[in-house]
Amino acid sequence: MNYPRSTQNEIDNYLNAVRKNMQHAPEEEVDEVITHLQEQIDVGLEEAGDTSNESESIGRIITGMSQPESFASPNNKQGKIRQWGILAVLTAVLSWAFNLGGIPYFSFYGLAWFLVIAVSTVLAVVSHKTVLGKVAIAILILEAVSFPILHTMSMAENEESQQGGVGQPATRSESE
């Protein structure tokens, strides 16, 4: 169909964005999707009648359609999610290093550890559909379970060292 130049430009911009997001898909599939979208736009503009020359009308029609990002190929989406999964596992391991004392103590140690846990949790949730995301979630759960145990053990060690060693009472016995 012949449209005014401004309308045709908006349609072309939309279809080019869809084509760009489908760059990893087979060419036949891309052509099929573009043809289908063009037909939908044509039908929408025909139904709009005389108002089809208005830029608001074409904008409304295109806005009602799927966004170009939704046409991204699965490989493209999976690659991005996998990158988040890698970051989730790395931050979860860093969090474990804090938990086990593998990172030397510094000022704002607790705040830094809390931020690492928060970032790791968000990344793990974003990538929860991948194996790496599931590994990160498992690491975080194990860390949450082990923290009270490790904390209790370190507190007991500190108490014993303050009392003068293992097996020695902190006060003198009555027999002395």
- 39-88 confidence digits (pLDDT tens): 887 877 777 775 555 666 677 777 667 666 666 655 555 566 778 889 99
Longest dimension (CA), the chain: 109
**Using CA atoms in the order 145, 85, 120, 70, what is the torsion angle rounded to 10 degrees?**
-120
Clarify whether residues 55 and 79 are in a common domain. no
Domain count across the chain:
2
Give a yes or no: residue 168 inside a domain. no
pLDDT at residue 142 in the model: 92
- pTM > 0.75: no
pLDDT at residue 153 in the model: 84
Clarify whether residues 10 and 27 are in a common domain. yes
The residue to which tokens 């990893």 are assigned: 24
- Six-digit token string for 100: 């086990």
Clarify whether residues 150 and 120 are in a common domain. yes
| Eight-state DSSP code of residue 106 | -
Q: What is the residue-averaged pLDDT of the chain?
A: 78
**175, pLDDT greater than 60:** no
- Six-digit token string for 172: 């003198």
93 band by pLDDT with thresholds 50, 70 and 90: very high
Domain encompassing residue 12: 5-71
- 95-150 confidence digits (pLDDT tens): 988 888 888 888 888 899 899 999 999 999 988 888 998 999 999 999 999 888 88
CA distance 88 to 86: 5
Q: Within 13 Å, how many C-alpha atoms sit on residue 21's CB side?
A: 16
CA distance 44 to 41: 5
pLDDT at residue 83 in the model: 85
Clarify whether residues 67 and 105 are in a common domain. no
